[in-house]
């Protein structure tokens, strides 16, 4: 009987993985590319628009201001109206704005369009994370999250060189290379948004590619693991903002984001100053750390699932990432680049484990969706403030050394907090599961008494 269950689970999760993950990875790759391609565009755009490093930092960071404001409401709406329609809406609207970035002419227009892009995309990433938690049981979740976030890293591995190549279109039809970059890279989001309406099922029961037995098993498995009760709609907001562990998780993700956001948005400019290479060579050098990030995410997520261990898989990589980032400031150029690659890879490797821990803790429904939105929104405070700070430090000192020290310390603090947080959540979850067993046992005893 046990072997039969294992075979059924393997077949079911194999179908879910094949049908959902490649498509969701493609969506996130496009999303991350449109969000971060400003880092490559800046190699030409800053000179054309007369932007200093500080002004560029403002433009890069404003995206996250509106992203933060609209993220939690967006995720609650997604949980209520369904992922298919809401994700499609998000993609089409951000694609239109991304294409519009090609036509800006002033710093003020850049600021306005980045604000619009943040508002349009708000809720996409936490919405997909919530959606994955409704399809992948805990034993499969970190691996699924690793594949999803690999798409973000691939956006840099593939996207940075492509963006660098698009800069070489400079002058075609009188259009600057950075304008071609925005225009061409914004179109896929619009097209894929329309595909989402046709392809993406809202729930397990609506998936045509699962048979009845598979739907029953997967629905039962997900339902059994939702150890917190679904709150009433009027209680959702209270539940989201009153849970101290949600705020602690938000702080861990905020500290981790110092690396993923700060390094991603400034890496091409950092390497341009160090290497002095052409824009295309710089884009290639910028993409290599994210190739290793893909490998590290997959290994860390899969190993965490297999070992059923989250604490060291979350805390240790972050701690090492911060140490290596600071270390790269005090070594020779080639060795510094190697340490930078390892730091970026280790930083990204915690993402699937973090979201596995988070979604295992949270309930289902609007509370879970809103909590995930809050955690992601709080992390984006780093996006709203760090680019401005890093740009200001660059203008003031002529390099990014102090900024990288700040990022490194934040990552180390995140690692320490990651160790503490996972232990707290594991203890809390054990208590909640114990209470559930007592309630179920009492219910069963009462049913037996009634029958007798």
Instruction: In whole angstroms, give the CA distance from residue 78 to residue 91.
Output: 13
What integer pLDDT is reported at residue 447 of this predicted model? 43
Q: pTM of the entire structure? A: 0.71
Instruction: In whole angstroms, give the CA distance from residue 307 to residue 281.
Output: 40
Kindly list the averaged pLDDT for each block of 10 residues, start to end, along the chain of length 452.
Answer: 59 90 89 84 92 89 88 85 91 94 95 94 86 85 78 79 88 92 94 92 90 89 66 57 83 90 78 74 85 90 87 94 92 85 93 85 67 79 83 87 92 93 70 46 43 46
Domain 26-202+241-451 falls in which CATH fold? Growth Hormone; Chain: A; (1.20.1250)
Tokens representing 148? 């999803």
Instruction: In whole angstroms, give the CA distance from residue 151 to residue 23.
Output: 10
Which residues have CB under 8 Å from 333's CB, separation 6+?
A: 274
Q: From residue 54, give the alpha-carbon distance in Å to each of 9, 65, 126, 395.
A: 52, 17, 29, 7
């Amino acid at each position: 009987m046990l072997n039969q269950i294992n075979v059924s689970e393997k077949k079911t999760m194999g179908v879910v993985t094949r049908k959902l993950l490649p498509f969701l990875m493609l969506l996130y790759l496009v999303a991350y590319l449109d969000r971060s391609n400003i880092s490559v565009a800046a190699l030409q755009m800053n000179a054309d628009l007369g932007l200093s490093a500080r002004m560029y930092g403002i433009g890069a960071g404003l995206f996250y201001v509106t992203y933060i404001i609209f993220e939690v409401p967006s995720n609650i709406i997604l949980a209520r109206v369904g992922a298919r329609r809401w994700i499609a809406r998000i993609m089409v609207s951000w694609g239109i704005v991304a294409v519009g970035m090609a036509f800006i002419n002033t710093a003020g227009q850049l600021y306005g369009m980045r604000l619009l892009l943040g508002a349009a995309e708000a809720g996409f990433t936490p919405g997909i994370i919530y959606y994955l938690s409704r399809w992948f049981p805990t034993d499969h979740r970190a691996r699924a999250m690793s594949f999803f976030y690999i798409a973000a890293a691939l956006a840099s591995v593939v996207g940075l060189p492509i963006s660098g190549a698009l800069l070489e279109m400079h002058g075609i039809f009188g259009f600057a290379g950075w304008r071609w970059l925005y225009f061409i890279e914004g179109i896929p989001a619009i097209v894929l948004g329309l595909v989402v309406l046709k392809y993406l099922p809202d729930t397990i029961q609506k998936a045509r590619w699962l048979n009845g037995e598979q739907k029953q098993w997967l629905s039962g498995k997900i339902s059994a693991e939702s150890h917190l009760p679904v709150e009433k709609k009027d209680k959702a907001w209270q539940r989201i903002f009153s849970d101290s562990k949600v705020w602690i998780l938000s702080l861990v993700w905020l500290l981790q984001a110092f690396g993923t956001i700060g390094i991603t948005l400034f890496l091409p400019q950092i390497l341009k100053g160090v290497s002095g290479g052409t824009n295309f060579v710089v884009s290639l050098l910028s993409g290599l750390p994210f190739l290793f990030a893909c490998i590290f995410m997959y290994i860390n997520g899969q190993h965490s699932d297999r070992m059923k261990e989250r604490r060291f898989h979350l805390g240790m990589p972050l701690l090492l990432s911060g140490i290596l980032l600071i270390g790269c400031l005090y070594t020779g150029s080639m060795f510094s680049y190697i340490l930078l690659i390892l730091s970026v890879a280790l930083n990204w490797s915690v993402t699937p484990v973090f979201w596995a821990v988070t979604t295992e803790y949270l309930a289902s429904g609007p509370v879970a969706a809103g909590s995930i939105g809050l955690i992601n929104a709080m992390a984006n405070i780093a996006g709203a403030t760090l680019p401005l700070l890093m740009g200001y430090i660059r203008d003031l000192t002529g390099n990014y050394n102090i900024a990288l020290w700040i990022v490194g310390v934040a990552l180390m603090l995140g690692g320490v907090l990651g160790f503490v947080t996972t232990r707290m959540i594991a203890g809390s979850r054990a208590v909640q599961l114990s209470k559930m067993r007592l309630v179920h046992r009492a219910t069963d005893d009462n049913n037996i008494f009634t029958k007798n």
